[in-house]
Amino acid sequence: MFASSNKNKYEEAKGILAKFGISLRFFKCNLQEMQADTLEEVAFHKALDAFSKCSKPVIIEDDGLFINSLKGFPGPYSSFVFKTIGNEGILKLLKSKRSATFQSVIAYYERKNDVQLFNAAVSGKISQKPIGKKWGYDPIFIPQGQTKTYAQLEEKNLVSHRYLAIKKFANWYLHRQESNDR
């Protein structure tokens, strides 16, 4: 199960995991989120809540944009910050130092007291203005080695922080199955 209130996240994860032969079902729900300085802590508690609601092996994902010159802002509160000050606000806060990291954490809760965490990060910088029409911070984040924003990159789902974290999970999951099969 993939627990989220956001069907787009589920579709993205489903597409990635399908390539690894792992099937996924959507568990639509609102999950409790903690205030914490790291995504890992937020994801851990979110996974406990998700499992308590769906009682099946469940994946949750949490991501955030961490801007270095702003001490990691908006970080774990990226969603709230996007809904309030948005990309326009982020751009007002920045001058020359624009480096940032987009981070994703996947938490997998299989059974009681067994949560696995998988994190990934993509370095990059904040563009001078929003380019591209996708949602969230995609129009202002340019991954390292690229000249286009996430919103412009057609292959975003093959390079993104979320893709990398899901791939880590998939590798662990399949490897573990193999170990169990031996």
Of residues 18 and 34, the one with the C-beta less far from its own copies: 34
Q: Which amino acid, residue 160?
A: S
Q: Please indicate whether residue 49 is annotated as part of the active site.
A: no
From the list 22, 85, 117, 131, which residue makes contact with its own copies (rule: CB under 8 A)?
Answer: 85
From the list 21, 23, 35, 179, which residue makes contact with its own copies (rule: CB under 8 A)?
Answer: 35
Choices 5-13, 31-39, 101-109, 173-181 (CB under 8 A): range interacting with its own copies:
31-39
Convert residues 45-84 into a mask of x (bound to its own copies by CB under 8 A) and - (unbound).
-------------------------xxxxxxxx--xx-xx
Among 100, 81, 97, which residue's Cα sits nearest to residue 89? 81
Cβ atoms 166, 134 nearer than 8 A? no
Q: Which of 49, 62, 63, 138 is catalytic?
A: 62
Residue 32: C-alpha distances to residues 24, 73, 80, 127, 165 (Å):
22, 21, 14, 32, 21
Q: Does 93 bind its own copies (CB under 8 A)?
A: yes
How far apart, in whole angstroms, are the C-alpha atoms of residue 142 and residue 129? 11
- The residues annotated as belonging to the active site are 62
